[in-house]
Amino acid sequence: MPIYVKDNIFVLETERTQYVFGIDNSGLNRHLHWGAKCDPADFFIETFGDENSNHTMLDEYRQEYTVFGSTMYRECALKVRFPDGCRELDLQYDGFAQEGDTLEVQFSDRHYPLKVRLCYELTPGFDVFTRWVRLENTGDRPILLEKVCSAEFSLPSQKPYTFRNTNGAWGGEGIECVQTLTGGALVFESRRGISGHNQSPYFIAYQNADEASGDVYFAALAYSGNFKVSAARDLYSFTRIHVGLNDFDFSYTLQGGESFETPKVFCGLAKGFGDMSRQMHKFTVQNVLPQAFAEKPLPVLYNSWEATGFDVNAENQMRLAEKAAAAGVELFVMDDGWFGARNNDRAGLGDWFVNSEKFPNGLQALISHVNSLGMDFGIWVEPEMVNADSDLYRAHPDWTYHYDTRTPHELRNQRVLNLTRADVQAYLFELLDRLLTENNIRYIKWDMNRPFSETGADNLENPQMLWYLHTMAVYTLVDRLRARHPQVQFESCASGGGRSDLGALSHFDEVWPSDNTDAIDRMTLQKTYTLLRPVKTMRAWVTDVGGPNKPTSLEFRFNIAMQGALSLGGDLTKYSEADMEICRENVALYKEIRPLVQFGDLYRLADADEDEFLCTQYVNKSKTESVVFLAARGTRFYKKRVILRLAGLDPVRRYRLEFDGKMIEKSGAYLMEAGLAAHIRGADYNTVLRLFAV
């Protein structure tokens, strides 16, 4: 995977695409191409002059990384304030360094001691590559960073692009919004301290694309805090996109001799949304996820939250564990309620000590019981938070973000701990380390249930750094705990999917994507989740949610949850023997198809929102096995036969499958081209087809 450098032009080649930029005679960085491969020798840098005094040539230039200043008025990627008050950047090109698949292009300010390095890394076998920026203050006086993006992108066509992002909410994280940018700007951002439930830290931009075809440009930011993705189309019809830390209430003091590295952006160009997802799934498993569990199948998990809420105790957890083990569960997780005075959400957060009334023999008795049933044990924590009614808050009221002159806004009766303080970090590390050292715990669900407010942090000389430093502190805590307890898996949760970005997935093994466990809503949410995030990281519970408004059978709920990392979350003590049999059968089936679901290639064949039914197919690497899930909440207008054209199979191989109660054998070509006529009917239709190469 070559990187060609000639005459200050940098040509980066991925498997099927090319990304090109260069430096012109005046030292400006200029974006040249992102698309199909051309002869690298053909690229050159055109220079053109001003059109008139109001629209300068800089308006028209596509830059690789735009800095604030001069006659450049559009959105910039970098803005700083030098110690003497100058807010203008003027970069000169200094050279580049290339090491294997990594390229660093170096600039420095013509007057001030600031170095700016644009970094790129290619990953063999992928059209996904990585970008980030490194800044260095080589002087001895502080430089204030006011905006620093991880990357700027220029899209090739001058026709408008359509953008897919989310306009979600708690319980509706994956609700998509699709809009075409003809002029002005689109902004997707978070200002809440976490990446959040609403908009997503990525862009997906295209013109005429669908699942299987069309150029799809995408980039996902690996950052779990306040982010900003802004796209603009200018008077020359160019679409440019900036991705990075949100400049909302942001600044960062770069002291003399210090460096700052932005979060990474994983970006690429794919043929259709399906290709984009498959590339990002593999790329993330191989290059982003913590490697300890990345290539291992995730266990079938049971979580107690929807069954017992805060009312956990040794007795009821043991009863649930026995039922979970009987269903074939491999990891039993006790959720909220096990510590301090945590009988409801009004007290106890921060006191990470076992509640001795609920667990008179400590956690040990429960864990031993769970282990004796053949399951691992996992537990819930919410380390970044404190209830005012807690021993921790009574001892350290100054450990939260606050202003002495302002009344703290509580959400869910809790306040956010100031994780930029070393003493808070030490307290949390010590308690969590002790919890993991003293108990045989194999999984942590790390929750975070409210956005920030009253963001005072008088421990910091520059309190506007807290947004960034908080996120880094979470990553560091998790990394330190992982280093001490490598046997423990970590799941990222923030009131559901409030922290489910690629930054979280650089430190956590899996994600709780939504508190909404309604199988019908999950048909939509799971599609959005897996656009850019691996299937295996998507925890999916079968619960008792549904109700008279949207009744679904237990089989239906399994069908949907088996399309991710299958988990159970219902009150199993209330399940009939027939329900338990359904659980046993489906968990056993899932264990057989798990390698396909968690590591196979995903094809979205039909969409619950557009096609009335959902059809997803997973194919293994060698194309010898595949599984197809079909589900519909009810079809309308007598429509019942749909031709299922499968995907991803070997056209010349023959496959056996049970279809409509009969064993049939067909070629991959037939299954993909002619297809199978499936009879989809009923209010609760669901089926799983398994294909085996003959």
Interacting residues with ligand DGJ (CB under 6 A) = 305, 335-336, 380, 447, 449, 493, 495-496, 512, 515
**DSSP annotation string for 543-608:** -S--TTTS---HHHHHHHHTTSEEEE-S-GGG--HHHHHHHHHHHHHHHHHHHHHHHSEEEEEE-H
Joined together, the tokens standing for residue 358 give 């609920």
Closest residue to ligand DGJ: CB criterion: 336
The Cα-based distances of 104 to 121, 124, 418 in angstroms read 9, 18, 35
Cα 499 from Cα 510, distance rounded (Å): 11
Closest approach of Cβ 328 to ligand DGJ, in Å? 22
Q: Is the dihedral of CA 657, 213, 33, 37 positive or negative?
A: positive
423 in catalytic set: no
Residue 471 CB coordination number (10 Å): 24
CA–CA dist 527, 532 (Å, integer): 10
What's the sign of the alpha-carbon dihedral 633, 638, 640, 645?
negative
Distance of closest approach, residue 449 Cβ to ligand DGJ, in angstroms: 6
Q: How far, in Å, CA of 265 to CA of 284, rounded?
A: 12
Separation between Cα atoms, residue 474 and residue 223, nearest integer Å: 11
Pick between residue 493 and residue 608 the one whose CB is nearest to ligand DGJ. Answer: 493
Which residue, chain included where needed, has tokens 């087809």?
A: 689
Please, what is the minimum distance in Å from the beta carbon of residue 448 to ligand DGJ?
A: 9
Q: How far is the CB of 405 from ligand DGJ (least distance, A)?
A: 31
Nearest-approach distance from CB 493 to ligand DGJ, in angstroms = 5
How far apart are CB 499 and ligand DGJ at their closest, in Å?
A: 10
Which of the residues 234, 515, 521, 601 is marked catalytic? 515
CB of 219 or CB of 381, closer to ligand DGJ: 381
Least distance between ligand DGJ and beta carbon 578 (Å): 27
Nearest CB to ligand DGJ, comparing residues 231 and 525: 525
Angle between helices 422-438 and 466-484 (to 10 degrees): 30
- CA distances 459 to 230, 270, 403, 469, Å, are 32, 46, 12, 12
Q: Label residues 265-274 b or e (16+ Cβ within 10 Å = b).
A: bbbbbbbbbb
Residue 671: alpha-carbon gap to chain centroid: 33
Nearer residue to ligand DGJ within complex by CB, 400 or 449 = 449
Q: How far apart are the first and last CA of the chain?
A: 36
Q: How far is the CB of 145 from ligand DGJ (least distance, A)?
A: 34
Compute the half-sphere exposure of residue 218: CA atoms within 13 Å on the CB side of its CA: 29
d(CA 74, CA 296) in angstroms, rounded, equals: 46
Task: Give the C-alpha separation, 589 to 580, whole Å.
Answer: 14
Looking at 275, 447, 509, 518, which residue is catalytic? 447
Toward ligand DGJ, which CB reaches closer, 376 or 515?
515
Of residues 321 and 614, the one with the C-beta less far from ligand DGJ: 321
Q: Which two tokens stand for residue 328?
A: 């074939």
Nearer to ligand DGJ, 162 or 316 (CB): 316
For the four alpha carbons of 296, 297, 299 and 305, in that order, the dihedral sign comes to positive
Which CB, 503 or 513, lies closer to ligand DGJ?
513
From the centroid of its chain, how far is CA 237?
A: 31
Residue 447 annotated in active site: yes
User: At its nearest, how many Å lie between ligand DGJ and the CB of residue 264?
Assistant: 27
Closer by beta carbon to ligand DGJ, 157 or else 413: 413
- What is the rounded distance in angstroms from the CA atom of residue 51 to the CA atom of residue 398? 58
- Burial of residue 93 (number of CB atoms within 10 Å: 0-12, 13-18, 19+): middle
Tokens of 23: 């430096």
Look-up: residue for tokens 């079938």? 300
Residue 64, helix vs strand vs coil: coil
Nearest in space to 491 (alpha carbons), one of 246, 289, 690: 289
CB of 222 to ligand DGJ, least distance (A): 22
- Measured from the CB atom, is 449 or 598 closer to ligand DGJ? 449
Residue closer to ligand DGJ, measured from CB, 224 or 449: 449
Of 273 and 446, which has the nearer Cβ to ligand DGJ?
Answer: 446
Cα separations in angstroms, 501 against 204, 446, 552, 691: 14, 14, 30, 33
Query: What is the rounded CA–CA span in Å between residue 629 and residue 529?
Result: 17
Q: In 358-465, which residue ranges form alpha helices assigned H by DSSP?
A: 362-372, 391-395, 422-438
CB of residue 624 to ligand DGJ, shortest distance in Å? 37
46 φ, ψ to 5°? -80, 140
Smallest separation, CB 193 to ligand DGJ (Å): 16
| Integer angstrom CA distances of residue 279 from 162, 614, 640 | 21, 22, 33
Strands 376-381 and 443-446: parallel
Known catalytic residues are 447, 515
